[in-house]
Structure 1
Amino acid sequence: MRNIANIKPSAILVSLIQNSKLSNTVSRIALRDANKQWRAHIAKPTRLRDQHTMLDIADQLRLIIVQVSQRRCRINPTHWATLVHLEADLRAAYLANINLEPLLDTVAANSEHSEVA
């Protein structure tokens, strides 16, 4: 079993955009929108993120999965499993309340919050 906390959706989405070769415009737009949503999501500090964004992105990916399974869209076969796994991983991370690709809050070395005495 894979450790969901270690997946990097940003890298996976970029790879899918570049290599999946989706034949349907609606699917290509859904994938692009999912990537934009994810980039906006990970740009926020961890404590300010809305975890429902992962479900929104998973829904975009589900749209592509449905279109491919109904033969309305073709996908590069080598990327089909990646797409399906990413959608499932996003839903599992949401259910387990796992924050993927956390953005660590930085604390200045000379601030009052630093642990140097």
Structure 2
Amino acid sequence: MRNIANIKPSAILVSLIQNAKLSNAVSRIALRDANKQWCSHIAKPTRLRDQHTMLDVAEQLRLIIVQVSQRRCRINPPQWAALVHLEADLRKAYAHNINLEPLLDIVAANSQHSEVA
């Protein structure tokens, strides 16, 4: 069993955009929208993130999976597994309240919150 806390959806989404070669415009738009949603999600500090975004991105990926399954869209075969795994991992991370790709709050060395040696 793999540790889903270590997955990098941003890297997987970029790889899918570059290599999936989706034949349907609706699927390409869904993949692009999923990437945009994820990028705006991970740009926020971890404490300000809405975990529901993971489900929104998973729904976009589910749309692509359904279209490919119903033969309305073709996908580059090696990318199929990455797409299906990412969708499942996002749902699992949401269910277990796992923050993927955490953005750590940066504290300046001379701020009042920094630790004094």
Q: What range describes the TM-score normalised by the shorter chain of this pair?
A: over 0.9
1:111 partner SS = coil
Deviations 1:21-67 (Å, cap 9, x if unpaired)?
00000000000000000000000000000000000000000000000
> Counterparts of 2:6 and 2:42 in 1: how far apart (Å)?
14
User: How far apart are residue 116 of structure 1 and its match?
Assistant: 1.5
Q: How does 1:77-88 map to 2 (within 5 A)?
A: 77-88=77-88
Q: Which runs of 4+ in 1 moved over 3 A?
A: none
Q: Is 1:109 matched up with 2:81?
A: no
Q: How does 1:83-102 map to 2 (within 5 A)?
A: 83-102=83-102
> What is the aligned partner in structure 2 of residue 73 from structure 1?
73
Gaps of 5+ in 1: none
- Give the residue type in structure 1 aligned to 2:37: Q
User: How far apart are residue 103 of structure 1 and its match?
Assistant: 0.3
> What is the aligned partner in structure 2 of residue 43 from structure 1?
43
Number of positions where the alignment pairs a residue of Structure 1 with one of Structure 2: 117
State the superposition RMSD in angstroms.
Answer: 0.5
> Counterparts of 2:39 and 2:4 in 1: how far apart (Å)?
18
- Give the residue type in structure 1 aligned to 2:6: N
> Counterparts of 1:74 and 1:116 in 2: how far apart (Å)?
58
Q: Is 1:33 matched up with 2:33?
A: yes
Gaps of 5+ in 2: none
- Give the residue type in structure 2 aligned to 1:11: A
> What is the aligned partner in structure 2 of residue 13 from structure 1?
13
> Counterparts of 1:11 and 1:116 in 2: how far apart (Å)?
37
Name the % identity: 88
